[in-house]
Structure 1
Amino acid sequence: MKKNRLGRSDLYVSEIGLGCMSLSRDEQESIRMIHAALDRGVNFLDTADLYRQGRNEEWVGKALKGKRHDVILATKVGNRWEPGKDGWSWDPSKAYIKEAVKGSLRRLQTDYIDLYQLHGGTLDDPIDETIDAFEELKQEGVIRCYGISSIRPNVIREYVKRSNIVSVMMQYSVLDRRPEETVLSLLQEHGISMIARGPLAQGLLSERTLTGPAPAAGYLDYSPVEIVELVRRLAALAGEDRSLSQIALRYPLAHPAVAAVIPGASSTEQLLTNTGAARVPDLTQDEVKLIRSFSRANVYTLHR
């Protein structure tokens, strides 16, 4: 599988990664799926301390026993859960980040994290303090690199300007082309990579939209009827050598700022389809233009 450099770091990630949030609810099945992904050339796994209150990290850690050095491991921080309290609270403080990383290391059964990401962020955060936390963890050898996971252009601009992030994780797909407005060009200009999450738009950009029940709701500024029509047009580009969902996975990768897509998978069948996208040809420039002609150039309305 092709590997791309993550920003200006020394990390090289498989262009198809694995978003671990949507793994099976069964521990052993999740571990088997992670092993299946690694067997198919995936070397980039993304999780977070938020997912299932840390259990997802625990399962990833178990799956990587004896395999840790073959994997670029990413996790996230910033959402704080305290026993006895409902829900999570947002805490991007230096003290919390430096404490929370210890829990992630323990659950992941490792002594370092390749990519540590802030799991959100606002302009009201103590941004310089947050950056200091990541820089100190890097100096201590606890993390190799850091980035942010955010869909807020105003926050992304601040971290691009003030920090040494190597990546930004954000939602990007044929149905959500908002990053094309300004973010992708900004990242490309500064040598920062995008990690594209949600490339299948919650499964809407897959065969199930044509073979199953019609979508029950819209997606961003698309109505259910418009989603079905768009997916039909995407399907017309498919053939014996590539599926509809594989075309959708390759769309974000057509932009040079995108280092990897991280589709989730809740079944081995989905995993095989996703990883198979690494073996199909890149979209041609004509195909990219065609997809853009029948999809929508969405724009951000908030956090500009």
Structure 2
Amino acid sequence: MQKRRLGSSDLEISELALGCMSLGTDELHAQRVIHTALEEGINYFDTADLYDFGDNERIVGMALKSIREDVVIATKVGNRWNEQKDGWGWDPSKAYIKEQVKKSLNRLGTEYIDLYQLHGGTTEDPIEETIEAFEELKAEGYIRFYGISSIRPNVIREYVEKSGIVSVMMQYSLLDRRPEEMVLPLLSEQGISVVCRGTLAKGLLTEKKWEYFSASFKKNGYLKYSSLELQELLSLLKEKVAPERPMTEIAAQYCLAQPAVSAVVIGASSPEQVKNNARAVQSQRLSKEEIDLIQELTRADIYQEHR
């Protein structure tokens, strides 16, 4: 599998990252999924301290322990479980970040985190204090590089101007083209990589047939697409763009065609899903004509909030 540089870092990451949130808590099954990812050439694994109350980090760390130097482990911080463990709040404070990194390191069973990411953020946060925490952790050797996970342009701009982030994880797909208006050009210009989540739009951009989608999609649609618009668009994409290719390939290749994008993070709950996703990422690139057609058929919406 091809690799790309992550921003200004020296990390070379596979174009497909395994989103580990979907692994579950069955350790043997999770290990099979992770080992399949390794066999497919994936070296980039994304988790968070929030997932399964930190158990996800522990499972990921155990599965990768024997090849730690050969993989890139990314995790996230900022969401704080309440005492009842039935909800969480937001805490981007320096004290919390510096306390939690040690817990993540312990669960992961590693001496350092390759990419430590702020798991959200608002303009009301103490951004300078948050940045200071990440910079200190980097200087102290606990983390190699840091980034943020955000879809808010006003937050992203603050970190671009004030911090040393190497990446931004954000929702981006051919059904959610909002980042194209201002965020992708800004990050590309600054040499900061985009790591895409939501590439498959909650399964809409797969081979799954419409009748098997959830009642929520059928009633409410997706983002600004109504249910009827979605059905028509998915049919048109399949018919006009690449009728002989799986929709998963089109979805992955559309994101990877953006200059700012270094990888797509796609979750998998089975070895078969990992293999399908790897095939999509390793498939033929989209032509300029195919990309133009996709953009003609889909909406170039913009962010209405957090501008």
TM above 0.5: yes
The more displaced of 37-46 and 18-27 is 18-27
What is the CA distance between 1:212 and its match in structure 2?
Answer: 2.8
Output the CA distance in 2 between the equivalents of 1:85 and 1:24: 17
2:90 corresponds to = 90
Q: Identical aligned pairs, as a percentage?
A: 61
Provide the secondary structure at the position in 1 that maps to 2:203: coil
- For residues 30-82 of structure 1, give each alpha carbon's deviation from its aligned partner in whole angstroms, at most 9, with x where no partner exists: 11101100110001110000111111111101111201111111000001124
Aligned equivalents of 2:251, 2:237: Cα separation in 1: 8
Which residue of the other structure, out of 239, 242, 252, is the alignment partner of 1:238?
Answer: 242
Query: Post-superposition shift, 1:239?
Result: 5.1
Higher helix share: 2
Pick one of 297, 300, 304 that aligns with 1:297.
300
Gaps of 5+ in 1: none
Q: Partners of 1:6 and 1:292 in 2: how far apart?
A: 26
Where does residue 165 of structure 1 map in the other structure? 165
What is the DSSP-based 3-state SS (H/G/I as helix, E as strand, rest coil) of the residue aligned with 2:89? strand
Deviations 1:254-278 (A, max 9, x none): 1000000001112222211101123
1: CA distance, partners of 2:208 / 2:84: 40
The answer to whether the 8 Å contact 2:24/2:56 transfers is no
Which secondary structure state, in structure 1, belongs to the residue aligned with residue 267 of structure 2?
coil
| Structure 2 counterpart of 1:148 | 148
Q: TM-score, normalised by structure 1?
A: 0.96
* Contact in 1 for aligned 2:18/2:37 (Cα 8 Å): yes
User: What amino acid is aligned across from residue 68 of structure 1 in structure 2?
Assistant: R
Task: Give the 5 Å matches for 1:203-214.
Answer: 203-210=203-210, 212-213=212-213
Instruction: Give, in whole Å, the separation in 1 of the partners of 2:174 and 2:195.
Output: 15
CA distance in 2, matches of 1:78, 1:248: 30
Question: Bigger shift: 267-276 or 6-15?
Answer: 267-276
Which residue in 2 is equivalent to 1:72?
72
Query: 1:139-188 CA deviation, whole Å, 9 max, x = no partner?
Result: 01110000000010000000000000000000000110000010000001
1: CA distance between counterparts of 2:73 and 2:89? 24
1:123 aligned partner, one-letter code = T
User: Separation in 2 of the partners of 1:279 and 1:94?
Assistant: 40
Q: Does 1:288 align with 2:291?
A: yes
Q: Note the C-alpha offset of 1:279.
A: 2.3
Number of aligned residues = 303
Structure 1 segment 116-265 matched on structure 2, within 5 A: 116-210=116-210, 212-213=212-213, 215-216=217-218, 217-236=220-239, 237-238=241-242, 240=244, 242-265=245-268
